[in-house]
């Protein structure tokens, strides 16, 4: 019971943070059987300054600069090292047109971005409402500046940087709900969804066996497992692949279903199943048994997009921790392995 009370308190803290637009958000569950309307054309990227920016589920995860993904956070550097954070000025971020996607459909052009201008988590070290208000088409709840996109902010804004932690932006054709974020917002004109994308197709015994094999290889003692699959043409060769997200199941209250007697540990696993039915591990993370509940985490899918329009699809996921979390993008490198190329951090 003690554990449950502590976790409930932490969840309440995270929920409180949601009021500031910076918290863990509910997993979006797509309707079974929904199919994407196709990938669309892969136009050359020709924006004036040659950079693209990516907001995944509202969080600025990073950018594409000279054809290379740049992460908003470099997790290899310590917390107190300034170089850990890539700095993005508001002027550079919002002087572009943006397009939005849901996880399973293209939403088209975005005409508004709502920015929290208050002080505190997800906002600034000191309030900036008066700074943004003159350039906003309207204010929401007194502390969200709604900028028209693209927005030519004056030179001063080149020196105002996006908050490094918990920075969320609602980007939409018209922002109506400050707690809703598109799965992807970007100014990259070549970004697209996979052809034939379908979420939640169910899974096969072969999939289950592949999950078991990956976990046994990692030496993981695991229990109740949630599995979600997505299928589509993820490498643009006209054939269908699947991506399998597997993780420790949670009960209705959000507590991980781990059997302490068996020393089961939490895990998050992403597998890629090629059209030749070979499985590879894209991502695996394992935790500790039930003894330290504050080290528990869950991994959720955020989307599968070709972010740079090169025909190879990136996988976006989020990690929900005790009182914080991160949103990250996995991309296949030249050697064929999967790297985490962009990350954002959020929480309280
Ligand atoms: Ca394919
Ligand atoms: Ca790509």
CA angle 55, 316, 219 (to 5 degrees): 145
The predicted structure's pLDDT at residue 201:
79
Percent of the chain scored above 90 by pLDDT?
78
Mapping DSSP to helix (H, G, I), strand (E, B) and coil, where does residue 312 land?
A: coil
The predicted structure's pLDDT at residue 293:
78
8 within domain boundaries: no
Q: Report residue 210 as tokens.
A: 């592949």
The predicted structure's pLDDT at residue 210:
98
Whole-number Å distance between alpha carbons of 138 and 180: 18
For the question of whether the overall pTM of this predicted structure is more than 0.75, the answer is yes
The predicted structure's pLDDT at residue 290:
77
How much distance in Å is there from the Cα of 37 to the middle of ligand 1?
16
How much distance in Å is there from the Cα of 234 to the middle of ligand 1?
5
Mean pLDDT of 285-312: 92
56 within domain boundaries: yes
The predicted structure's pLDDT at residue 31:
35
1 within domain boundaries: no
Mean pLDDT of 300-305: 98
Residues 6+ apart with CB under 8 A from 279: 210, 213, 214, 271, 272, 273
Query: Average pLDDT of the chain?
Result: 86
pLDDT exceeds cutoff 60 at 13:
no
Nearest ligand to residue 342 Cα? 2
How much distance in Å is there from the Cα of 311 to the middle of ligand 1?
10
Residue 117, judged by CB atoms within 10 A of its CB (0-12, 13-18, 19+), counts as: buried
How much distance in Å is there from the Cα of 314 to the middle of ligand 1?
13
Does residue 169 sit in the same domain as residue 227?
no
Does residue 324 sit in the same domain as residue 304?
yes
Mean pLDDT of 283-288: 94
Q: Spell out the SS3 assignment of 272-294.
A: EECCCCCEEEEEEEECCCCCCHH
Each residue of 24-59: pLDDT tens digit? 333 333 333 333 333 343 344 445 467 999 999 999
How much distance in Å is there from the Cα of 312 to the middle of ligand 1?
9
How much distance in Å is there from the Cα of 114 to the middle of ligand 1?
37
How much distance in Å is there from the Cα of 346 to the middle of ligand 2?
25
328 within domain boundaries: yes
pLDDT exceeds cutoff 70 at 133:
yes
pLDDT exceeds cutoff 50 at 60:
yes
Q: What is the DSSP string of 209-227?
A: HHHHHHHHHTT----SEEE
Domain that holds residue 249: 193-347
How much distance in Å is there from the Cα of 311 to the middle of ligand 2?
6
Nearest ligand to residue 330 Cα? 2
How much distance in Å is there from the Cα of 79 to the middle of ligand 2?
29
Nearest ligand to residue 196 Cα? 1
Q: With bands split at pLDDT 50, 70 and 90, how would you rate the model's confidence at 5? A: very low
The predicted structure's pLDDT at residue 37:
38
The predicted structure's pLDDT at residue 21:
29
Does residue 223 sit in the same domain as residue 174?
no
Nearest ligand to residue 273 Cα? 1
Whole-number Å distance between alpha carbons of 8 and 281: 33
Each residue of 189-207: pLDDT tens digit? 999 999 999 998 799 999 9
Sheet holding 338-347, edge to edge: 298-305, 314-320, 324-332, 338-347
Residue written as token pair 């043409």? 233
Q: Report residue 42 as tokens.
A: 């892969």
Nearest ligand to residue 69 Cα? 2
Q: Report the domain count for the chain.
A: 2
Does residue 148 sit in the same domain as residue 224?
no
Does residue 142 sit in the same domain as residue 216?
no
5 within domain boundaries: no
Nearest ligand to residue 231 Cα? 1
Does residue 141 sit in the same domain as residue 288?
no
Whole-number Å distance between alpha carbons of 106 and 88: 26
Q: Report residue 75 as tokens.
A: 């997790």
How much distance in Å is there from the Cα of 220 to the middle of ligand 2?
31
How much distance in Å is there from the Cα of 261 to the middle of ligand 2?
43
2 within domain boundaries: no
Does residue 172 sit in the same domain as residue 199?
no
Mean pLDDT of 122-149: 95
The residue ranking higher by pLDDT, 234 or 30, is 234
Mean pLDDT of 125-136: 96
Does residue 161 sit in the same domain as residue 20?
yes
How much distance in Å is there from the Cα of 2 to the middle of ligand 1?
49
Does residue 93 sit in the same domain as residue 205?
no
CA angle 28, 291, 251 (to 5 degrees): 30
9 within domain boundaries: no
Each residue of 91-128: pLDDT tens digit? 999 999 999 999 999 999 999 999 999 998 889 999 99
End position of a domain, from candidates 124, 158, 186: 186
Nearest ligand to residue 309 Cα? 2
End position of a domain, from candidates 165, 186, 207: 186
Does residue 225 sit in the same domain as residue 282?
yes
Each residue of 243-260: pLDDT tens digit? 999 999 999 988 899 998
Strands (E), 12-143: 51-56, 59-65, 68-71, 98-101, 106-110, 112-116, 138-140
How much distance in Å is there from the Cα of 240 to the middle of ligand 1?
5
How much distance in Å is there from the Cα of 310 to the middle of ligand 2?
5
Whole-number Å distance between alpha carbons of 187 and 93: 9
pLDDT exceeds cutoff 80 at 8:
no
Does residue 27 sit in the same domain as residue 121?
yes
CA angle 157, 158, 161 (to 5 degrees): 80
Does residue 270 sit in the same domain as residue 174?
no
pLDDT exceeds cutoff 50 at 320:
yes
Nearest ligand to residue 241 Cα? 1
The predicted structure's pLDDT at residue 44:
44
Give the ranges where 71-116 is alpha helix by DSSP (H): 90-94
End position of a domain, from candidates 186, 210, 226: 186
Nearest ligand to residue 314 Cα? 2
223 within domain boundaries: yes
How much distance in Å is there from the Cα of 331 to the middle of ligand 2?
7
């Amino acid at each position: 019971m003690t554990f449950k009370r502590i976790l409930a308190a932490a969840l309440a803290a995270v929920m409180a943070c949601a009021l500031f637009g910076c918290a863990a958000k509910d997993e979006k569950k797509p309707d079974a059987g929904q199919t994407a309307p196709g990938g669309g054309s892969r136009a050359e990227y020709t924006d004036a300054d040659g950079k693209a920016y990516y907001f995944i589920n509202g969080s600025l995860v990073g950018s594409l600069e000279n054809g290379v993904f740049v992460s908003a956070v470099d997790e290899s550097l310590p917390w107190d090292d300034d170089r850990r954070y890539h700095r993005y000025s508001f002027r550079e971020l919002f002087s572009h047109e943006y397009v939005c996607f849901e996880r399973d459909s293209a939403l088209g052009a975005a005409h508004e971005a709502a920015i929290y201008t208050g002080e505190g988590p997800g906002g600034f070290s000191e309030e900036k409402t008066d700074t943004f208000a003159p350039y906003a088409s309207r204010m929401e709840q007194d502390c969200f500046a709604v900028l028209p996109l693209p927005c030519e902010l004056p030179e001063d804004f080149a020196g105002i940087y996006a908050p490094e932690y918990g920075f969320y932006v609602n980007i939409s054709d018209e922002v109506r709900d400050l707690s809703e974020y598109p799965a992807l917002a970007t100014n990259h004109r070549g970004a697209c969804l996979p052809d034939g994308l379908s979420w939640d197709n169910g899974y096969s015994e072969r999939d289950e066996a592949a999950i078991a094999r990956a976990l046994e290889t990692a030496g993981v003692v695991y229990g109740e497992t949630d599995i979600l699959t997505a299928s589509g043409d993820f490498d643009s060769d006209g054939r269908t692949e699947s991506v399998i997200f597997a993780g420790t199941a949670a009960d209705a209250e959000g507590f991980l279903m781990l059997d302490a007697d068996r020393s089961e540990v939490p895990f998050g696993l992403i597998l890629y199943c090629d059209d030749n039915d070979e499985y590879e591990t894209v991502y695996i993370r394992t935790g500790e048994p039930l003894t330290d509940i504050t080290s528990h985490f869950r991994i959720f899918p955020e989307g599968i997009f070709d972010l740079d329009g090169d025909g190879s699809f990136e996988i976006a996921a989020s990690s929900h921790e005790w009182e914080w979390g991160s949103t990250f993008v996995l991309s296949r490198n030249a050697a064929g392995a999967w790297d985490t190329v962009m990350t954002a951090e959020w929480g309280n």
